[in-house]
Every structure is written in structure tokens, then in C-alpha cells.
Amino acid sequence: MAKVNTYDLVIVGGGPIGMACAIAAHQKGLNYIILEKGALVNSLFNYPLYMTFFSTAEKLEIGNIPFNCIAPKPGRQEALEYYRNIQRYFSLNIKLFEKVETINKTDSEFTIATDKANYTAKNVVIATGFYDIPIYMDVPGEHLPKVSHYYKEAHEYAFRKVLIVGANNSSVDAALECWRKGADVTMVIRKDEINPRVKYWVKPDVENRIAEGSIKAYFNSNITEIKENEVEILTPNGPVTIENDFVLALTGYRPNLEFIQQCGVNISEDSNLTPQYNPETMETNITGLYLAGVVCGGMETHKWFIENSRVHADMIINNIINNN
């Protein structure tokens, strides 16, 4: 039989918010462990190589450790370095590349099963973010090898015909980077404008490139089919077929709400699919099971960020201490 490890708190997710919860737990003397299915701050690791955060450095800080940054806003590489330094400083008890498969509650404790071990805990925090599951378009050809729902860097798209779906930060960054590396870029945008939440220093750039014709954009349009060498688009002026080598379907991502529901957490029946939790304590309808970070917003993934959900850590740990 596999060894069972017992803790006051198991934290599912080793991103910035999961780490913040661990720091708060350590400071309050709780016996805790973080279980992370990938690398440290795995979502940030999978961000585009040259991504710049909307937030300034101090708003990404956790554990009262300064985030020193020369530029006004840090990039992915600087953020990874900062959170590695957080781990070096606090020596957080974390298991990397260990995926949680099930969480079940029996009587007054939880049983957590991963792909490597079993754990029991009095309390559990789910801080799993939202970057693992793309929001699919559900169109023919979406699963062709030339289609990707993640963007890393522009080099492989240089001098090729690239279609980018979406008008949010990731889509706009990819469009501009690919165009500047020599790609023939077309954007397909469901609404009639670039998303107003796009970074304020980037939005005019892409709008000017579209206006001058450097980047082709179909507004109020949708892809209807992806083929080996073409893409079919439904536009306000009728169907259009364009030549194509690659499709970057950057249509957004969503939390693993099915996993949260399997843990017993109630999910709203509206389109937001918001998990049930107490906004003062972050405790769900399951006593001792908490949510932290962007996962709290359900499909509203723009609602919570590192900067406004760091406070969840102290809220959760204080509630656990008060209930002991």
C-alpha cells in the first residue's frame, strides 16, 4: 500500500497564489505541502517567451519580498526568476510534476490522490489557475497539426501565412510579433474592435498596423473550417477563403471546472460557471476546501489576477487558524 502523507493543508497548484498560500501557512506554523503537476509557476513558464505583464513588478510580489525590475513592467523571464528566488528564500515544501487526480472528503479530513502518492489533510486549497484548457472553436479542422492554441515565439511563423484568431492580449502580441518577424498575418475577430482590455501601450500599435494594411483583419467574423492549405471565414460580406500555413487559435482558456465539481464544489448554472465560495474566507460549500486565485472566477478569467488575488492567501490561512 502506498504511503499516506498527512498535513494540515494541501495546496493544489504551485503558481504565485499557491506559493503565497504556502508562505502564509508556514508563517502561521501549519504543516503544508504544495502539489504541482508541472514546473514551478507552470502557467507562467508556458507563457510566450517575450510576454510583458500588464501589472507592474510590485503588484506581482508575494511574501513581502521585493520584485526588482529595471523596466516599468516585468516580462516572463524576470517573473520566472523572481518566483524561483521566492522558492530559494522560503524553501517551500513543494512536489513538482505530481498531478492531483482526486480529492475526496471523509468525515473531517480530505484524501488527496496524485499520480505518485496519497495524502490526507484537514484542509485543501485549490489554486490551479486557468491556462491548461483552451476554449475551443469547435470547427472542422481545428485539430490539424498546423493549428495551435498556445503561442510561444514568432520564429517558426516567419515568412509564412499565419491566421490568428482573437483580439485579446495574447492574440495581439502574437500578431505583432509574427508580423515583425516577417509573417503574413491575418486576424479573425469575432467582435467589431480590438478588445478594450488589451494593454494600453500595445492596442494603438495593432490598430495602426491594421489601418495601414500591414496586418489584415476580418472583424465581426468567424472561422468556419480549417483546411490543409486554406481557411474558410464567414465575414459580414459573405464567406472568404484565404491561403494559410498556420492557425493560432488564441481564443482564451478556462479553469478545470470539471475537477472542481468532482471535488464537490457547487458551480453556478449560468454562463459564468462560477464556483461557490465565501468571499470573506474563500471557503467553498465543502467545509475545509478553499479556492484561491483566478479559478474563483469560473469563465470570467479576467476577473482575478496575481495582484488582486494575493490577499486570498491570508484570508484562507486566517480562517483555517480561527477554525482550529
pLDDT digits (tens, 9 = 90+) for 171-221: 999 999 999 999 999 999 999 999 999 999 999 999 999 999 999 999 999
Count of residues in the chain: 324
Q: Domain boundary at 249, 272, 300, which?
A: 249
Which grid coordinates belong to 279? 468571499
77 shares its domain with 192: no
pLDDT digits (tens, 9 = 90+) for 194-205: 999 999 999 999
Which domain CATH number covers 81? 3.50.50.60
260 shares its domain with 208: no
44 shares its domain with 122: yes
Read off the pLDDT band of 290 (50, 70, 90).
very high
Average pLDDT, the chain: 95
Give dist(CA 296, CA 288) in Å, integer: 16
pLDDT digits (tens, 9 = 90+) for 137-164: 999 999 999 999 999 999 999 999 999 9
Give dist(CA 148, CA 144) in Å, integer: 9
Read off the pLDDT band of 302 (50, 70, 90).
confident
Q: Domain boundary at 226, 249, 272, which?
A: 249
8 shares its domain with 110: yes
Query: Per-residue pLDDT averaged across 264-290, rounded?
Result: 96
Residue 314: is its pLDDT beyond 80? yes
9 shares its domain with 129: yes
Read off the pLDDT band of 289 (50, 70, 90).
very high
The pLDDT assigned to 72 comes to 85
291 shares its domain with 212: no
Domain count, the chain: 2
164 shares its domain with 117: no
The pLDDT assigned to 1 comes to 37
Give dist(CA 81, CA 213) in Å, integer: 38
9 shares its domain with 126: yes
Give dist(CA 324, CA 322) in Å, integer: 6
151 shares its domain with 127: no
226 shares its domain with 275: no
pLDDT digits (tens, 9 = 90+) for 86-142: 999 999 999 999 999 999 998 889 999 999 999 999 999 999 998 889 999 999 999
Residue 233: is its pLDDT beyond 60? yes
Read off the pLDDT band of 46 (50, 70, 90).
very high
Neighbours of 316 (CB within 10 A): 26
The pLDDT assigned to 4 comes to 64
- Global pTM reads 0.92
The pLDDT assigned to 324 comes to 77
Give dist(CA 69, CA 221) in Å, integer: 40
125 shares its domain with 257: yes
Reduced DSSP (H G I as helix, E B as strand, rest coil) percent helix, strand, coil of the chain, to 5: 25, 25, 45
Q: Which domain holds residue 226?
A: 136-249
Per the model's pLDDT, the better-predicted residue between 289 and 71 turns out to be 289
240 shares its domain with 257: no
Asked if 246 and 161 touch (Cβ cutoff 8 Å), the reply is: yes
